[in-house]
Structure 1
Amino acid sequence: MKILLIILGALLLLAIWISLDFQFGRKAQLARITRINYPIRESNLQIFTTGPELFSDYFSLLKNANHHIHILFYIVKVDLISKEFFAILKSKAQSGVEVRLLLDWMGCRNISRRVIEDLKRANIKFAFCHIPRLPFLFYSSQVRNHRKMTIIDGKTGYMGGFNIGKEYIDQDPKLKPWRDYHLKISGEGAADLQREFLKDWRMATKTNLLNNSIYFPELEKGNSRHQVLPSEGFYLEETFSTLIRKAESTIIIGTPYFIPSKRIFADLLKALKRGVRLKVLVPHMTDHLFVKEASFRYLRRLIQEGAEVYDYMKGFYHAKVIVIDDKICDIGTANFDKRSIFLNHEINCFIFDRAFIERVRNILEIDLLNSKQITLSELNKPNLLRSIKEQAAKAISFFL
């Protein structure tokens, strides 16, 4: 009995510590955040939806870099494609090109010290970002840099949902084929990605390169109007909310994880009540425990109110996209979930070019054809295991 009381007491103290750590850690984070409003730019945009297509283009451009390569990824796996990736970076660094590689500590904690030292010996400037630290150890372990972006010679940038790993090039039998959306930005918008990378680099390494003009060459305008929107666990809720409240006819949301905040969920319900057609596209298969079950309580209510919800059946759907009235399209790194909204550092791109949005709509139509509409009867069908998972997911939905 005494041992049980000691265990319960320890668990209670742990729960109190986690609660206080999270509360004060978030307060400290919010105090540091300053909102960045980049202007609307004009660049040439290209969208990639498959890994083999993206990485063929991406690796080719890396090999042709002349002055610098700046890369930030949330996840880099240890496998064959990462070896090819590292080999390209080492070759460029050894040829005199500046290479900076910034990786999220949590997402890349599997990368060994030996690999890191090998990269540094090749003259690659390497750093981890978002390493958990005191005094808010638990909170800092939850705040991740979920951005995936690359800037080459200050002129071309990549951003979107793909990381580096075999699953992203359809080599994981459980998650193949992998469906994702990734942007290539050539022109003005590359400068905004550069600024965000250099801010993250400064935070991780205490080295400030933001005032070095060599990283900000003169850039030509392109054909598509767009705006880069960084977020750091704040402002993204307001941004998504504003988009939804402005919708007049249609909203399409594609996301691997559908766990909206209370405010955003209320906005979606109001949109349905005023006659807006809402389509939500999510993956049938899952790559993380409980994330699918966490979405069910929201999806049930939306279907009841007239929304169309689709399960993507042809592989794993990992794209992050919102299209409003065919007038605004959002593609980026942020999932439609509480972690992206309230915790992670993300970067999104709002696109205002009708021709490009039509291209995205055509891609979405193909993805919807490869999906199955979910019915309310399916979600309400008695299933004890699913019900248990739903309750567990509800309790930890903020951290999924």
Structure 2
Amino acid sequence: MSLAHSSADREAAAAVDPSDLISFDSLLSTEELALRDRVRTFVREEIKPNIAKWYEEARFPIEIVPKLAKLGLLGMHLKGYGCAGGTAVEYGLAAAELEAGDSGIRTLVSVQGSLAMSAIAKHGSDEQKQEWLPRMAAGEAIGCFGLTEPTAGSDPSAMTTFASRDGADWVLNGAKRWIGLANVAQVAVIWAQTDEGVRGFVVPTGTPGFTATPIEPKLSMRASVQCEISLENVRLPDDAVLPNASGLKGPFSCLNEARYGIAWGTMGAARDAFEDALAYSKERLQFGRPLAGYQLTQQKLVNMALEINKGFLLALHLGRLKDAGKLQPHQISVGKLNNCREAIEICREARTILGGNGITLAYSPLRHANNLESVRTYEGTDEVHTLILGQKLTGVGAFR
């Protein structure tokens, strides 16, 4: 993946970091900054001019998939098979920039790379990897990840989708819900109960009996697509099974990849909301002076900037641990819980500075806040991550 970019791009990208109070860029390598700035330029040129319209029309911009692939962002943390082989920190920086554009855009990359591609890369056979990963990295095939069900969200062990043996084949029956990209995907990774425990299956979406229906209308993630999947006697050959995944550890290993990216992405949304509010506060006059000149406004801006800086420091620390092979699952929960929670509060606070104008799509904070209601829920709710951390602190599980 080429990281070449012009000095003008670097200067333009660097100019949009007014929330940085701690010289955060000094903690990043030249390569990391180059990747970050290239994605930032793409978002500035391709996403921000269009996102309000996409959001208002509830349209998923599938036309950007090849552009994301050209940037090397699909499965960018994976090695081989046409994937970029980026570091965890590089992936995190890209996630933050994409979500500064919109959570739906970062979710696209997360579902494709952290979930569907990671499942095949971590748990698939050589044949499955060769068949799907190069096409997915190139944006020629879109993937989805079917774990959540209508009555099994935070407790995937309660899934009722079942795969039964029928001679040399498997037959899947059941339903999945809130599955990103399912109606535009060419391949689905479906998790199902079997007589041998939970197993993963690589399911071409053209297989008879597989149906994906978009969930509408939505108040959040409107520039993205989430679906309900129906599986009615979906017949698969034996080699559709992910051979190296057995039990819930398989899907959880993929969820942790996505949760890590969320710790970064949410801070990108928060930063973008802050920047809109800061710029507005300098221009909007009330009682003969800019809003930025009032103490209450400055207090809001300072508090938002502090949490953005702390959130990025946390995300970077997790990324360094991940690149060193030392990141623990509970530490990912720290990032997901804290940064989602802080980001949504920052976006709501930013909206207050915008006043009534803040409820329009001319400004980003309320759109980001609405999206973050979904981000805060998927890949583990606040409650789930709280209990993960509670168990880590006390040694006592409190899930049931």
Q: TM-score, normalised by structure 2?
A: 0.24
More strand by share: 1
More helix by share: 2
